[in-house]
Amino acid sequence: MIDPKQIQQLRDILGQWAKTVASDLGADGIYLFGSLVYRNGTQFVKESDIDLAIQIPDVVEGAIGRTAWIGKLFDHKLKLEKDLLAPFSRENAGEPICSVVAITESEARADIHKDGAEEFFKSNPFLNLLDNNEIDGFPNAGEAPIRDRLVRQCFRFAQKKRNAFLGVSANGSPGLQEFDGADPIPKDVMRHAAMAARLRNPGAPRGAEYDTQAGLDFLTSYLYDVRDRDAAYGRIHHWVSVRRGARGNVEQLEAIDWVFFSEIVWDLASDALQAHLAQRAEEQATEEAGVPGGRSTVFFADRFAQAFPGVRGISWFDESDHVRKRLTTLLASPLSFSGRAPIWWWRDGNGHIQHFQCIRVDEYLMDYTELKIRKVAAVNPGIYSRLFVYVEAIGMTPTGLYKRSDESTAAVKSCLGYDVEEYGLLVDGRCVTRAEYDDGAAHIDNQLLDIRERAKLRVRYLSPYNFVIAAQGSPINNTGFDPRLKKYMNRMLQGEDMLAAMLKDVIQLPLRDN
């Protein structure tokens, strides 16, 4: 047993290290647990390991983000091992002193431990190294259990790979070796990719979740589809292609890329989980709301067929009469059922559509948004749940309420990709500023007027603007897809036809509704 002074010395070193990590990398919590915490450390001996749990910041998103964060944590972990070598008086610098379990918020809320220990994070005592307070159970542990065994296994796999990678010792001996085996990629990656594939295809044959060939094919296909999203995906896709027989130099898989593979599997499992949860929520909501046809995708598919009969693939409509007939059919009343709207729009935001009308030639009012629509494209990939409509509008005349310089206008367009103004429209047709609308009063004709019951909000686009319309349960309703959608929309406004590329991307998005 180590005396209390040494225990405190170790805790001080760990506390300072935790503060440095939180400052440099960010962390939603850094905790000490195990024998150094139990009974105030009385069970801790020199041969004991130090157990740490770190919650990856919620702002770190996606496989690329988590992998980069873990890679930076590696350097801090190596320094900690060196700092602890002297206080421990250990002769073997090739054995790690600390075990670091890095977990996401989802893993914490589901209480998922890399080795499958039940209620591990919920029932253990932890010492918060950032404020030196002891807590009974990890914050929020067990609040959102995940019942799907395949999702749990994929999350455990990623957590275990992070732990192995961070198992570096003071002399730099790695906890996770490079891979250069006979298989194209590590077998454990293929096996868990098969689980992710099964999650996307519940109708697959029994045992498909353990088919490593299926996992390899699924992962290869996924990497091919995302290879242009980021250089990291492109690089790992090239590596897999060469390992599978394409021309190029075959290199070893670096340990950090093994982590990257596991995080990709994590993302695929998480996407499938979110799709399943959204589907169940929508089924319940549509049942309660009484939406005709049941799910929103069924409702939208019926409206799409009525508005764009015979359309397969991508069809454009730019004659004003055709645009009006198609859109007023697609968005005919009713669009709201018990307060719920099954048809939504997306761009760099999203929202439901509860009202749509043609107010004059080429000009429409969609809820509170004014649009001078120039053309639309109906997109039917042959899968009812992935139907969508692209809408493009031209800029409208400013109201004259706001005086802006050319520089400020250019700055807005550079930031958003378009120019826009908001205002209040009075029942007599006069306009007031958005600030006056929010205040419910305006100074007009040298009088102060109460406009709270006399004004409606309006949004007007002063430059070309575009968006897509789809079912609320469409795969497009995916926060992970939002940045890519914005890029597609901006490039379309710049004159590039990105619909085919966007359609290919939408086809690969996880289902929200079957």
Higher pLDDT, 103 or 34: 103
- The separation between CA 363 and the C-alpha centre of its own chain, rounded to angstroms, equals 35
The encoded tokens of residue 416 equal: 């958003």
pLDDT at residue 289 above 60? no
Which phi and psi angles does 221 have, rounded to 5°? -65, -40
Place of tokens 């908001």: 422
pLDDT category of residue 514 using cuts at 50, 70 and 90: very low
Residue 294: what pLDDT? 58
Q: CA-to-CA distance for 123 and 1, rounded, in angstroms?
A: 25
What is the structure's pLDDT at 61? Answer: 87
Calpha distance 256→220 (Å, rounded): 19
Task: Specify the 3-state DSSP secondary structure of 175.
Answer: coil
Separation between Cα atoms, residue 403 and residue 414, nearest integer Å: 18
Domain ranges of the chain: 4-165, 187-288, 291-508
**pLDDT value of position 150:** 95
For 73-92, the pLDDT digits (tens) are 999 999 999 998 877 666 77
pLDDT at 89: 67
- Quick one: what percent of the chain has pLDDT higher than 70? 94
CA distance 75 to 80: 9
The whole-number pLDDT of residue 114 equals 95
Question: Beta strand 350-352 with 343-346: parallel, antiparallel or unpaired?
Answer: antiparallel
Handedness of CA 223, 227, 232, 236 (dihedral sign): positive
| Residue 370 CB partners (closer than 8 Å, separation 6+) | 363, 364, 396, 458, 459, 460, 461
- Cα three-residue angle 385-386-387, rounded to 5 degrees: 100
Q: Is pLDDT at 254 greater than 90 in this prediction?
A: yes
Mean pLDDT of the chain: 90
- Give the burial string for 11-20 (b: 16+ CB within 10 Å, else e): bebbbebbee
Residue 513, pLDDT score? 46
8-17, 238-247, 387-396, 505-514: the lowest-pLDDT one: 505-514
Q: What is the pLDDT of residues 184-195, one digit of tens each?
A: 999 999 999 999
Select the more confidently predicted residue: 295 or 419.
419
Closest CA to 509 of 353, 388, 352, 416: 388
CB < 8 Å & 24+ apart, contacts of 227-230: 229/484, 230/64
What are the residues whose beta carbons fall under 8 Å from the beta carbon of 487, sequence distance 6 or more? Answer: none
Q: Give the model confidence (pLDDT) of 101-121 as tens digits.
A: 999 999 999 999 999 999 999
| Region 252-267 average pLDDT | 96
The two beta strands, 455-461 and 369-380, are parallel
Which residue carries 């296909």 as its tokens? 221
Across 182-335, the runs of DSSP E, i.e. the strands, are 313-317
Tell me how far CA of residue 209 lies from CA of 154, 181, 193, 264, 509, in angstroms.
Answer: 11, 22, 8, 16, 20
Find the range with the poorest average confidence among 202-211, 237-246, 415-424.
202-211
What's the pLDDT score for residue 287? Answer: 55
Question: Does the model's pTM come out above 0.85?
Answer: no
- Among residues 54, 98, 51, 48, the alpha carbon closest in space to that of 77 is found at 98
Residues 6+ apart with CB under 8 A from 12: none
Please give the residue that has the higher pLDDT: either 216 or 204: 216
pLDDT above 70 for 178: yes
The rounded distance, in Å, linking the Cα atoms of 216 and 222 is 10
pLDDT (average), residues 449-459: 92
Q: Given a cut of 80, is residue 338 above it in pLDDT?
A: no
Residues 6+ apart with CB under 8 A from 224: 237
Is 304:330 a contact under the CB 8 Å cutoff?
yes
- Say which range, 58-72, 159-173, 201-215, 306-320, has the weakest mean pLDDT: 201-215
Q: Which alpha helices (DSSP H) does 36-148 contain, by range?
A: 62-88, 105-110, 120-123
Return the H-helix or E-strand segment holding 281: helix 255-289
Q: Would you state the pLDDT for residue 413?
A: 80
CB atoms within 10 A of CB 112: 26
Neighbours of 171 (CB within 10 A): 13
